[in-house]
Structure 1
Amino acid sequence: MNETPSRGSGAAMDELYAEAHHWEVNTGGETIHAKRMPGKWRRIKWLASSVWLIFFLGPYLRWNGNQAVLFDIPNRKYHLFGVTVLPQDFWMLSLLLLFFAILLAVVTALVGRAYCGYFCFQTVWTDVFTWIEEKLEGSPPQRRKLDKAPLDARKVRVKVLKHAIWLLIGFLTGFSFVAWFYGAGPLWRDFFVGDANVAVYASVALFTFGTYLLAGWLREQVCFWLCPYARIQGVMLDKSTVVPAYDEARGEPRGRLQKGQSSADRTVGDCVDCNQCVAVCPTGVDIRNGQQEGCITCGLCIDACDAVMDKVGKPRGLIRYASLDEVEGKPVKPMLMRARVWVYTGILALALAGIMYGLSSLEAIEVKVLHERAPLFVQLSDGSVQNKYTLKVLNKSEQDLTVRISAESSAPIILLGAEEPLLTRSGEVTPMIVFVKIKRSDLPGETLPVTFHATTTLSDNTEIAAERESAFFGPSR
């Protein structure tokens, strides 16, 4: 179904109308039953989609006897292959989000909506759903015929089976999502006996029916009307962006290949107007009318066109991945010679370096020192000066730890209140009040640096230490 703007006056409006008239925007008036054809880009699409197996299988991966990746939101702990990330380290999440946001911008600027065509969960799930539909209902003409056929036992049987499988996939999607946060083992133990909490059942139900609705019913309508990325991607492309493109100079004027006619006898372009590129498009656009909002750059039209070119004895590449400059015969600047590629790469490198630094610098314990402000110091009867400190020890490990506290300075000091080790619970901050005493004659000035040390030993006999510097205050001389 074509959606065109109302005509206005002037040459600009006439040109806009002429361009928009060739845009295919399915507004939901018909169901697109895309044809499936084998080919290079179809194989790449399946391989890229297989990345989502991590989503289903990841919760069952074990690390040191525990779930390798677990986002324990109730306890505010995030376990990543033996590393526990607490809310205090969430600055790394900001860098991670920045990394993926810039990566998406880089990919779009260089190769168009490759994420949409090969990795987007909506695209992948819709592709799986329509594959199941094809296996049960047949080819696109057979599916259209079945949709229009009167209700009978066979139609009911096929439709019920299809929708049941769709709902099962939706349930597995929701169940797998919750397993990342609840834990795969506990979820299997609690879910089917009614011991899980309401949030778990609500989340699984939401994902089940959401997946069923978006991938089974709305399909390409999500890309057209619900996804904000489809709206902004147009401003991220330029003439150097590589996208599926139709070589108009080679293909036009179009003309069907007559029976008994060889391709050498044709006086028209290479395009035989077979419409196979349209038939295989999951969003129903005609790539021969140029880049459009509905094109998700999946490359399936390239496979279809190459197959037809092979049959009529013409070289492949009538539709191919190319930039607008290349199609128009203009000089093409290599990607590495474009300034924005280096800018994007620099931002990505900085974000990734920050994430790697954060992960590598995570320690099992962290100590903070708060100096008592009122009063800053107390003069004792024996002539010494005493300061009060509150130590806060954060246990980032997955086990309870016994932490020993010590302090050192350039002057002789006495640490009080830390004679016994401090028991810290996993993922919790444990406070401790200590006093530091120094003879007044040993004070070199009004302030003196003091370093507090926290040491502990893990279950594997690995010794972990953390330190924090503070200051000791005394009277003026």
Structure 2
Amino acid sequence: MNTPPESTAPVSVDALYAEADDWHVNAGGQTIHAKRIPGRWRTIKWALASVWLIYLLGPYLRWDGRQAVLFDIPNRQYHLFSVTVLPQDFWMLSLLLLFFAILLAVMTALAGRVWCGFFCFQTVWTDVFTWIEERLEGPPAARRKLDAAPMSLEKLKVRTIKHGLWLLIGVLTGFSFVAWFTDAPTLWRTFFTGQANGAAYVTVALFTVGTYVLAGFLREQTCFWLCPYARIQGVMLDRSTIVPTYDGRRGEPRARLRRTDEGTRTTGDCIDCNQCVAVCPTGVDIRRGQQEGCITCALCIDACDQVMDKIGRPRGLIRYASLDELEGRSTRGLWLRPRIWVYVLILGLSLFGILHGLTALDPLELRVLHERAPLFVLQSDGSIQNKYTLKILNKTHEPLAVRIRAKGHDDLRLVGAEPPIEARPGGVTPATVFVRIPREALEAEQQPIVFRIEAERATGELAVTERESVFVGPEPRSD
């Protein structure tokens, strides 16, 4: 079993050529074993990929005695720390989806497929899987040799450990996904005792198989053939988009470096070592220009910079640059691009709407339904009575004693709302009330009235909301 660390020892140019001779561009028929080297962009890639720890650890964060973020689909409640979002407020989800869609467009317009290269779960999980593979099976040459070797006890042992770890990561991926939709500690207790919901077992199984196959076997083929973003992103780039790019004017004509070239080299800076291809997780050659397989992970920049350091040439033969910059045209500043202003405006409006919605969520919501048959009833005392059904939505996670008030006429009398209504948490509680107004006090056949509900929360805060309705009566008597 080989467990080599990522080496930082200097490598000779002859050794680079020997490795390049054994490399080929992937056509989907063989597994790519990308070379892993340290560097600035590799460090950035790991740092940004660590954002996914929120996915794995987030369900275990507690808030006020319960799970901080919980998407409780059976009860149609979505808890975000101290805020509870119910289906009635799902318009915010549309704004959230719009925000992330435009954010993806902005990222692509500015710097290409940075989502694919640094954040995409397929890229991150594949990187973790190949890191495990390298720790167990060795560098690319050793892995290719092991692939071609006949099955042996040693090979079986290494492959068993590798696939076991891959499956374990797949299980944790699926389990973490389910934990966002149910209480995580309860899930741990019920899942392994056979008491969890059947949907939980099916979801974990699907995520396990999907993660194992996509990250362990399909890898870059998922980006080539299954992901539509690789095709869409082509129409989202323009001449000012900065992406990892090979500077052909500086690098060409490329030629291998010979010992006799020292001080007399007349060709370009590219020494055709193919290290940019060797480190590419999708196997593309950045020197051929932008391709749909390039996920802009910038690992080729690390590889090329290290080679430039070895041969004493300046870094940046492969770098983040725009087409205008490479062709020597004047480049426009970020804020001089009209499309960016449009994107920023939409992003700002979406974010404002989401924040406004979250901060303006009322603990109580009220709907008032007026009885239609009959519209009004003449009482024995000469007053006119209207019947209303109030739908009280309690958006908090505590029961509330709701008091009902009505206003809109000096002689208005509310009947049936004397005792407070017990509004259950996270649900709708109906209440039937009657409003009476003396007939002689009516000024029109219809006049507005306002229902007001209020309840004191456990924190001492008074929750209040109002809803306007209408009071219907006969035509007023003329004097």
TM-score tier (shorter): over 0.9
**CA deviation after TM superposition for structure 1 residue 442, in Å:** 2.3
The answer to whether residue 29 in structure 2 is matched with residue 34 in structure 1 is: no
Identity of matched residues, %:
67
The separation in 2 between residues aligned to 1:442 and 1:291, in whole angstroms, is: 80
**CA deviation after TM superposition for structure 1 residue 376, in Å:** 2.0
1:14 aligns with none
The separation in 2 between residues aligned to 1:25 and 1:466, in whole angstroms, is: 65
1:181 aligns with 181
Q: Secondary structure at the match of 1:389?
A: strand
- Whether the 8 Å CA contact 1:25–1:294 is kept in 2: the answer is no
- Whether the 8 Å CA contact 2:107–2:113 is kept in 1: the answer is yes
The separation in 1 between residues aligned to 2:165 and 2:215, in whole angstroms, is: 12
2:266 aligns with 267
2:471 aligns with 472
2:210 aligns with 210
**Structure 1, gaps ≥5 residues long:** 1-23
1:366-421 deviations in Å (ceiling 9; x for gaps): 11111112222222222211111110000111122221111112422100010111
- Whether the 8 Å CA contact 1:240–1:323 is kept in 2: the answer is yes
2:411 alignment partner AA? P
TM-score, normalising length from structure 1? 0.93
1:278 aligns with 277
The answer to whether residue 74 in structure 2 is matched with residue 74 in structure 1 is: yes
1:137-162 deviations in Å (ceiling 9; x for gaps): 01000100111112111111111000
2:21 aligns with none
Q: How many residues of Structure 1 are paired with residues of Structure 2 in the alignment?
A: 453
1:83 alignment partner AA? V
1:59 aligns with 59
**CA deviation after TM superposition for structure 1 residue 363, in Å:** 1.6
2:341 alignment partner AA? W
- Whether the 8 Å CA contact 2:76–2:87 is kept in 1: the answer is yes
1:229 alignment partner AA? Y
Structure 1 residues 305, 46: CA separation in 2 closer, same or farther (over 3 Å shift)? same
The separation in 1 between residues aligned to 2:283 and 2:397, in whole angstroms, is: 52
1:399 aligns with 398
1:353 aligns with 352
Q: Secondary structure at the match of 2:449?
A: strand
**CA deviation after TM superposition for structure 1 residue 457, in Å:** 1.5
1:172-221 deviations in Å (ceiling 9; x for gaps): 00010000002211101100100001111010111111100000000000
The separation in 2 between residues aligned to 1:402 and 1:140, in whole angstroms, is: 68
**CA deviation after TM superposition for structure 1 residue 28, in Å:** 2.1
* 1:11-50 paired onto structure 2 within 5 Å: 26-50=26-50
1:425 aligns with 424
Q: Secondary structure at the match of 1:431?
A: strand
1:298 aligns with 297
Q: Secondary structure at the match of 1:181?
A: coil
The separation in 1 between residues aligned to 2:398 and 2:94, in whole angstroms, is: 27
1:460 aligns with 459
The separation in 1 between residues aligned to 2:461 and 2:25, in whole angstroms, is: 62
- Whether the 8 Å CA contact 1:406–1:453 is kept in 2: the answer is yes
**CA deviation after TM superposition for structure 1 residue 429, in Å:** 0.7
Q: Secondary structure at the match of 1:74?
A: coil
1:66-116 deviations in Å (ceiling 9; x for gaps): 100000111111100021111111110011001111111111111100000
Q: Secondary structure at the match of 1:362?
A: coil
The separation in 1 between residues aligned to 2:131 and 2:259, in whole angstroms, is: 33
1:71 alignment partner AA? F
The separation in 2 between residues aligned to 1:319 and 1:116, in whole angstroms, is: 19
* 1:119-198 paired onto structure 2 within 5 Å: 119-198=119-198
2:5 aligns with none
The separation in 1 between residues aligned to 2:25 and 2:441, in whole angstroms, is: 83
User: Cα RMSD (Å) of the superposition?
Assistant: 1.2
The separation in 2 between residues aligned to 1:204 and 1:119, in whole angstroms, is: 22
The separation in 1 between residues aligned to 2:334 and 2:409, in whole angstroms, is: 58
Q: Secondary structure at the match of 2:259?
A: coil
2:368 aligns with 369
- Whether the 8 Å CA contact 2:25–2:285 is kept in 1: the answer is no
The separation in 1 between residues aligned to 2:298 and 2:144, in whole angstroms, is: 24
2:442 aligns with 443
TM-score, normalising length from structure 2? 0.93
2:271 alignment partner AA? V
**CA deviation after TM superposition for structure 1 residue 27, in Å:** 4.0
**Structure 2, gaps ≥5 residues long:** 1-23
